[in-house]
């Protein structure tokens, strides 16, 4: 609240009027007991008015502002602490995700390696089974062929022996028959293969 110039002039006029009423000449440098009393009364009156109207509201505004500033600082500190906590939690979550991703990749590699080894082992077993089956079939075919050749050779030998016994053999006939027998065995073997 500003003091208006009219109020100051009025107060100075009152002081001057009281000094002139006493018959003295008014000067700002002169000391008058009435002026001192009026000055003290006006000062105390202004002090009471300013205390009631200005000082208490001003203190309340300052106090409220201090409280708001303190609360804002506390909220800012709390927000900072929460932000730091959230940042730390995010760092931990990110680190956890990286760790889980690394573990997942390692497990996937291990599983892929195990699957590869299983597939290779299965392929080896199947190849071995095919090889064994083929060997058995070849052995069976070989044994069957040998059996047929033996049977045929026996038949030829029996036939040859029958021819030999039925004829009296001279050297020339004997050679011819042996040659025919050999040619017959060779022809039979070539037909089978």
What is the tens place of the pLDDT at every residue in 96-139? 999 999 999 999 999 999 999 999 999 999 999 999 999 999 98
**Rounded to two decimals, what is the model's pTM?**
0.36
Task: Report pLDDT digits (tens) over 16-70.
Answer: 555 454 555 556 677 778 888 988 999 999 888 888 888 888 888 999 999 999 9
Whether the pLDDT of residue 94 is over 50: the answer is yes
Q: What is the DSSP string of the chain?
A: -PPPHHHHHHHHHHHHHHHHHTTPPP-TTS--HHHHHHHHHHHHHHHHHHIIIIIHHHHHHHHHHHHHHHHHHHHHHHHHHHHHHHHHHHHHHHHHHHHHHHHHHHHHHHHHHHHHHHHHHHHHHHHHHHHHHHHHHHHHHHHHHHHHHHHHHHHHHHHHHHHHHHS---HHHHHHHHHHHHHHHHHHHHHH-
d(CA 39, CA 169): 183
- Note the pLDDT tens digit of each residue in 65-89: 999 999 999 999 999 999 999 999 9
pLDDT over threshold 80, residue 187: no
Two structure tokens written together for 107: 């497990």
pLDDT in tens, 168-177: 556 677 677 7
pLDDT at 143 (0 to 100) = 85
* In contact, 19 and 36? CB cutoff 8 Å: no
């Amino acid at each position: 609240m500003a003091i208006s110039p009219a109020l100051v002039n009025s107060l100075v006029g009152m002081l001057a009027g009281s000094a002139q009423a006493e018959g003295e000449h008014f000067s700002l440098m002169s000391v008058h007991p009435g002026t001192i009393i009026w000055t003290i009364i006006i000062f105390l009156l202004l002090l009471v008015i300013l205390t009631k109207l200005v000082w208490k509201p001003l203190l309340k505004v300052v106090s409220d502002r201090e409280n708001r500033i303190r609360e804002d600082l506390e909220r800012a500190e709390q927000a900072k602490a929460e932000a730091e906590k959230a940042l730390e939690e995010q760092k931990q979550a990110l680190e956890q995700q990286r760790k889980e991703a690394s573990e997942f990749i390692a497990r996937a590699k291990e599983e892929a390696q195990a699957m590869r080894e299983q597939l290779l082992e299965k392929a080896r077993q199947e190849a071995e089974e095919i090889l064994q089956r083929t060997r058995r079939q070849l052995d069976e075919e070989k044994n069957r062929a040998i059996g047929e050749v033996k049977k045929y050779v026996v038949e030829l030998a029996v036939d040859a022996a029958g021819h030999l016994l039925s004829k009296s053999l001279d050297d020339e006939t004997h050679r011819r028959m042996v040659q025919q027998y050999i040619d017959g065995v060779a022809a039979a073997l070539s037909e089978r293969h």
